[in-house]
Amino acid sequence: MDALVLCFCLALGLIHTTEEKVLRQGRVPPHIVFVMVEDQGIGYHGSEIHMPVLDQLAGERVKLENYYVQPICSPSCSQLMTGRYQIHTGLQHSIIHARQPLCLPPNIPTLPERLRQAGYSTHMVGKWHLGFCRPECLPMSCGFQSFLGSLTGSGDHFSFQSCDGTEACGFDLHYGEWPAWELSGNYSTRLYTERVKEILRGHDQWTPLFLYVALQAVHTPLQAPGHLLRNYQTLGHRPLRHYAAMVSGVDESVGMIVSELRERGYYNNSVLIYSSDSGGQPVSWGCNWPLRGGKGSYWEGGVRAVGFVHSPLLKTKGVVSQALIHVSDWYPTLLSFAGYRESDSSYLDSQDNQWPALLLNLNGFGIWDTRVRAAIRAGDWKLLTGNVGDGDWFPPQTMPGGPQQWKGMEKRRDQRRKSVWIFTITADPYDRADFAYGPDDEEPDNTNRKARSKSTC
């Protein structure tokens, strides 16, 4: 058993040697469907929002309860595509803005490129957000044989108008390298699902397939078609209704994809991975409660993501994995599924590391300057430095008043100029008890936390 497979076995804690052999000896390596959603906070964990399909798929196979991503899209997606930390691709700062001449460095091999070498067909549907300033930055130059989706972020889910700030606006739905004007007016999640079905119908189950489905839901603007909104007429706030309907749209989409996999004979030899690209955005009705913080921050609510693996090839049902796994791990893991051997994997950040430590961000090399935003998780510990983002705990937003009223409710009186925090994250997953407080510092105020410690979002 090589290091890559071992890594995955430990991470999921369930593939026994015999099952791994079955997985590898089957004539066709497994079809891989990777569904990336945007900004979904704590997901199928008993939410008021209807997610029957996701609940079932996650419940049947492996829930990843210690799954980490980056707090925003471009860095997370770049790590999935390259297996490398963002500090090695220059994407550690922010998302790629539409007017920035920046993209995934073309010299770094990508997951779809490697899977192509392993005999896979590779198709992408959805949001790229890894740059488009030069032809070689586009999805089809990075290993995908087809692409339907948008190149930027936060576009309108129906008109596909996308703006960088308030000025630079444009139509952003592309088929291959061309604008797909004729598809405008369709709802993004539905359109992308139809495209996935089309790919599955046009393919055969004897050639391994890699499908990267990067839904723009549930990112703002909060928009959903009428049939999805009907389930939520009793929810008090208009934006919350739209948010909930968008999540249901994702659930419906994944259900349709799995049905198509079954109908077309792919399912028995498939692995479906579901992942959010970051934590939920509390000010846009996302919910990470009881985790601290949200999208864009290095508190657990920003980086601990919803994730699960569903595959009939995994024989053990109902597994909840507590093992540490990171979005960059999918690169070697999926290549190992595909039977691809990297001749030199030393450049990967996700290779032979069994995750004694997980680097969530770092900017710059050499001296660790605690003024600089950084986060690292090592064993039971998590260290945060610099300005790591809004440290509120945002209670569930179905409560009266909506997110604005609750914002700041639980804010801890963090000291000014404080820039180091240490938590035993295994015992304290909510970033509550900070060990970086000195002996003379006042203990954090605990009064609010007791009242509402149950996760209901």
Ligand X SMILES: *[C@@H]1O[C@H](CO)[C@@H](O)[C@H](O)[C@H]1NC(C)=O
Task: Name the residues that contact ligand X, by CB under 6 A.
Answer: 183, 185-186, 194, 265, 268
Active site residue 137: no
The active-site residue out of 31, 103, 123, 129 is 129
**Whose Cβ is closer to ligand X: residue 303's or residue 313's?**
313
Least Å from the CB of residue 163 to ligand X: 21
What are the distances in angstroms from CA 193 to CA 31, 42, 49, 212? 17, 23, 20, 12
Residue type, 342: E
Rounded-to-integer distance, Cα 354 and Cα 408, Å? 37
Q: Name the β-bridge partners of 421.
A: 384
Least Å from the CB of residue 351 to ligand X: 33
Least Å from the CB of residue 187 to ligand X: 9
Q: What count of Cα atoms within 13 Å lies in the side-chain half-sphere of residue 35?
A: 29
Rounded-to-integer distance, Cα 351 and Cα 401, Å? 46
Which residues have a Cβ under 8 Å from the Cβ of 14 and sit 6 or more positions away? 62, 314, 316, 319, 321
In three-state secondary structure terms, 122 is: strand
Instruction: Measure CA 90 to chain center.
Output: 19
Least Å from the CB of residue 312 to ligand X: 7
How far apart are the two ends of the chain, measured CA to CA in Å?
41
The active-site residue out of 7, 9, 73, 77 is 73
Least Å from the CB of residue 40 to ligand X: 25
Active site residue 287: no
* Residue count of the chain: 457
**Whose Cβ is closer to ligand X: residue 270's or residue 328's?**
270
- In this chain, which residue has its C-beta nearest to ligand X? 185
**Whose Cβ is closer to ligand X: residue 19's or residue 194's?**
194
Contact 11, 325 (CB under 8 A): yes
**Whose Cβ is closer to ligand X: residue 190's or residue 382's?**
190
**Whose Cβ is closer to ligand X: residue 97's or residue 203's?**
203
Crossing angle for the helix pair 238-263 and 188-201, nearest 10 degrees? 0
User: With DSSP H G I counted as helix, E B as strand and the rest as coil, what are the percentages for the chain, rounded to 5?
Assistant: 30, 15, 55
Active site residues: 73, 129
